[in-house]
Amino acid sequence: MDKIAIIIFLLIIILIYIYYRINNIFANRYDIVQITKNKYFTQLSYYDLKIRNSISRKEYIKKYINSFIDFSSSEKNKIKEIYNEIYLIHPIFRTLKIKFSKHNNPDIELNFPHTFDNIIILPQHYIDRNNLKHIIIHEYFHCWQRYNKYKCEILFDKLGFKRSQYYSEELLKKYNIYVNLASNPDIELNTDYFYNGKLLKFIYVVRNGFPGVCRDVEIDLLNKTIKDIDFKTNLSQQSQPNEIMAELLSRYFNKSNEYIRSDWLKSINEWIEIINNL
């Protein structure tokens, strides 16, 4: 009788865990308020705020908090289904508990999906997209990067990215190069990388006083030249290895390897084998 009681007790615990994992994946207002305490919000520049249609950081924080809305029941079911599918793809997706939130304000982070801590934030218009699974995997890896920096650096090095010892604003000032740097919450603050000796940055192109276009550029500090990045691939963002890694792994685990450069695919396969043994 005691054995039966123990088995029933263990089954109840397992069922509670499964229910908790499936249903406790949606952020609440408290989570969003906590997000706005991130140092990222204190470093938003004049042009960062302007493109977000905000006069001050305080105004943007208030806008950020008030723009979040609840998922509908059908949206929750859709995200749960994708999340559970992703959970089974590879052990790497079972190492971090994530939450989801959504907003309906185009001023929030240029209306792109983004992350803070372990929370994936989706704009309303992304939820009905056919490639939502791809998007969620991409954003999952941005969350994962924050807690696995050493493992990320292994892949960055294999892909050819070299971490800078100095923050770009210091470097650019030293070489008298002036650009308007664009902020991205998915990128580690005050961290920069070189590729083939060129500094990689995400910048605003300012026209008539407004930052209307963003560019991924490589900056040759010695020759003072700025060019668009071209890694011979169709990545949407190419200025930082964090974005490149998230996009490459999203394609990799979605079995879209034909869209990955052959040398980078080889590096990813080697990296997967390494982290499987760590």
**What pLDDT shows up at residue 10?**
74
SS3 at position 237: coil
**What pLDDT shows up at residue 135?**
96
Q: Are 250 and 134 in contact (CB under 8 A)?
A: yes
Element (H, E) at 60: helix 57-66
**What pLDDT shows up at residue 61?**
98
Residue 1 in this model has a pLDDT that exceeds 60: no
Residue 80 in this model has a pLDDT that exceeds 70: yes
Q: What are the tens digits of pLDDT across the range 50-71? A: 999 999 999 999 999 999 999 9
Q: How confident is the model at residue 113 (pLDDT cuts 50, 70, 90)?
A: very high
**What pLDDT shows up at residue 62?**
97
Bridge partner residues of 130 (DSSP): none
> Strand 99-103 to strand 119-123: parallel, antiparallel, or no bridges (unpaired)?
parallel
Q: Are 22 and 80 in contact (CB under 8 A)?
A: yes
Specify the higher pLDDT residue, 122 or 11.
Answer: 122
- Crossing angle of helices 149-159 and 262-276, rounded to 10°: 150
Residue 84 in this model has a pLDDT that exceeds 80: yes
By C-alpha distance, which of 259, 241, 243 is closest to 251? 259
Q: What are the tens digits of pLDDT across the range 226-242? A: 999 888 777 766 778 99
CB-based burial, 159-169: b 16+ in 10 Å, e otherwise: bebeeeeeebe
**What pLDDT shows up at residue 149?**
94
> Strand 180-181 to strand 119-123: parallel, antiparallel, or no bridges (unpaired)?
unpaired
**How many CA atoms within 13 Å lie on the side-chain side of 228?**
9
Residue 4 in this model has a pLDDT that exceeds 70: yes
DSSP 155-203: HHHHHTEEE-SS-HHHHHHHTT---EEPP-TTS-TT--EEETTEEEEEE
By C-alpha distance, which of 164, 176, 157 is closest to 221? 176
Residue 22 in this model has a pLDDT that exceeds 60: no
**What pLDDT shows up at residue 221?**
93
Residue 259 in this model has a pLDDT that exceeds 60: yes
**How many CA atoms within 13 Å lie on the side-chain side of 56?**
3
- Lowest-pLDDT range, 36-50, 67-81, 164-178, 262-276? 164-178
Q: How confident is the model at residue 23 (pLDDT cuts 50, 70, 90)?
A: low
Q: Are 36 and 65 in contact (CB under 8 A)?
A: yes
Give the chain's mean pLDDT. Answer: 90
This prediction's pTM = 0.90
